[in-house]
């Protein structure tokens, strides 16, 4: 660590992507469209895809061995796709329980088994980081989504989509990844005037959400549009063309969403906008918070 070794500017490192959604929506297909992928398929869910894959892992050691193979040998692969995290978690639990002489994860005591499992998740991420740095490979995780109650410290509790793994592991993985994508079917609301009911109708389009809202986890560090088609080529193009948002455009959208705010909230928004100045990143954070507020008001 010397001043001569200091780096500057944007670093274009291999991607760390987590994509989750309901079963069958196209998460594996999305990963298969990444540059030269090789899969670790935990449930034989890629049989319909013309991809390269390791044999299905039966143990946690099989998972780590697959990463070691990619680190230690020359190969043409540029993307390592782990499909699915749900089953990977089961392998971790089976591994630590067998090692520690427990029959199941709950035998450790209240909440303790999940903390022990986190050590294995951290080992996985350390191995994958080595793979990224030494072999310049992108990493893609896929996972199923589940609806869970969210205990909000700021508002009433509400339901949201989360990864179908333990929350501690979910938080660790979401934090490590640069991009978290929520895959969903596009739904439009239609009102039946006779029955006075509103129902959701799928348009058939499959989308990925890149910005977190009250309804789901998501994030990106590439200034992506909020919504993209569930298509890796569209995602890659958006990453490549991503530019810092225009501050004036962000402020205009903030102003449009601020029309119906109460005086206290409006004052806080105006203060945040003023403090952000022309910093697009800070302005977008304000905008995303306003979008969450707008969505909650629309749900009432």
* pLDDT tens-digit map of 198-257: 666 777 889 999 999 889 999 998 888 888 999 999 999 888 876 556 788 888 989 998
Percent of the chain with pLDDT over 90: 63
pLDDT digits (tens, 9 = 90+) for 131-154: 999 999 999 999 999 999 887 777
What does the pLDDT read at residue 282?
A: 77
Q: Which among 173, 163, 167 is positioned nearest to 129, based on CA atoms?
A: 173
| CA–CA separation, 237 and 247 (whole Å) | 22
- Judged by average pLDDT, the poorest of 24-28, 86-90, 263-267 is 263-267
| CA–CA separation, 264 and 44 (whole Å) | 53
| CA–CA separation, 185 and 188 (whole Å) | 10
| CA–CA separation, 43 and 185 (whole Å) | 23
Q: Which among 35, 120, 149, 38 is positioned nearest to 83, based on CA atoms?
A: 38
What does the pLDDT read at residue 183?
A: 97
| 208 close to 186: Cβ distance less than 8 angstroms | no
- pLDDT (mean) for 160-182: 96
Direct distance between the N- and C-terminal alpha carbons of the chain, in angstroms, rounded to an integer: 54
pTM over 0.75? The answer is yes
| CA–CA separation, 13 and 138 (whole Å) | 8
How would residue 168 be classed by pLDDT, with cut points 50, 70 and 90?
A: very high
Average pLDDT, the chain: 89
What does the pLDDT read at residue 205?
A: 87
What does the pLDDT read at residue 134?
A: 97
What does the pLDDT read at residue 296?
A: 62
What does the pLDDT read at residue 8?
A: 66
How would residue 20 be classed by pLDDT, with cut points 50, 70 and 90?
A: very high
| 182 close to 20: Cβ distance less than 8 angstroms | yes
* DSSP one-letter code for 231: -
- pLDDT (mean) for 176-187: 93
Q: Is the pLDDT of residue 10 over 60?
A: no
User: What angle, 0 to 180 degrees and rounded to 10, lies between the N-to-C axes of helices 280-299 and 263-276?
Assistant: 160
- pLDDT (mean) for 112-136: 97
State which of 36-50, 244-258, 268-282 shows the largest mean pLDDT. 36-50
| CA–CA separation, 254 and 144 (whole Å) | 33
């Amino acid at each position: 660590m010397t001043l001569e070794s200091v780096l500057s500017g944007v670093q274009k490192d291999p991607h760390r992507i987590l994509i989750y959604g309901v079963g069958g929506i196209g998460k594996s297909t999305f990963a298969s469209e990444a540059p030269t992928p090789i899969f670790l398929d935990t449930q034989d869910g890629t049989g319909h895809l013309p991809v390269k894959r390791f044999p299905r892992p039966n143990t946690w050691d099989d998972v780590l061995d697959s990463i070691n193979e990619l680190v230690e040998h020359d190969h043409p692969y540029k993307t390592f796709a782990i499909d699915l995290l749900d089953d990977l978690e089961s392998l971790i639990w089976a591994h630590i329980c067998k090692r520690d002489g427990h029959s199941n994860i709950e035998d450790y005591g209240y909440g303790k088994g999940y903390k022990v499992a986190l050590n294995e998740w951290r080992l996985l991420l350390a191995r994958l980081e080595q793979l990224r740095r030494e072999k310049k490979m992108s990493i893609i995780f896929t996972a199923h989504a589940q609806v869970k109650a969210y205990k909000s410290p700021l508002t009433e509790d509400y339901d949201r989509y989360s990864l179908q793994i333990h929350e501690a592991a979910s938080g660790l993985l979401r934090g490590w990844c640069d991009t978290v994508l929520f895959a969903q079917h596009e739904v439009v609301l239609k009102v039946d005037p006779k029955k006075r009911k509103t129902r959701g109708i799928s348009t058939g389009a499959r989308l990925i959400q890149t910005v977190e809202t009250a309804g789901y986890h998501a994030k990106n560090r590439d200034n992506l549009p909020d919504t993209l088609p569930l298509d890796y080529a569209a995602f890659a193009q958006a990453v490549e063309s991503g530019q810092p948002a225009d501050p004036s455009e962000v402020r205009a959208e903030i102003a449009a969403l601020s029309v119906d705010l109460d005086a206290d909230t409006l004052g806080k928004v105006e203060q945040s906008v003023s403090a952000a100045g022309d910093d697009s990143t800070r302005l977008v954070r304000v905008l995303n918070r306003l979008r969450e507020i707008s969505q909650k008001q629309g749900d009432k």
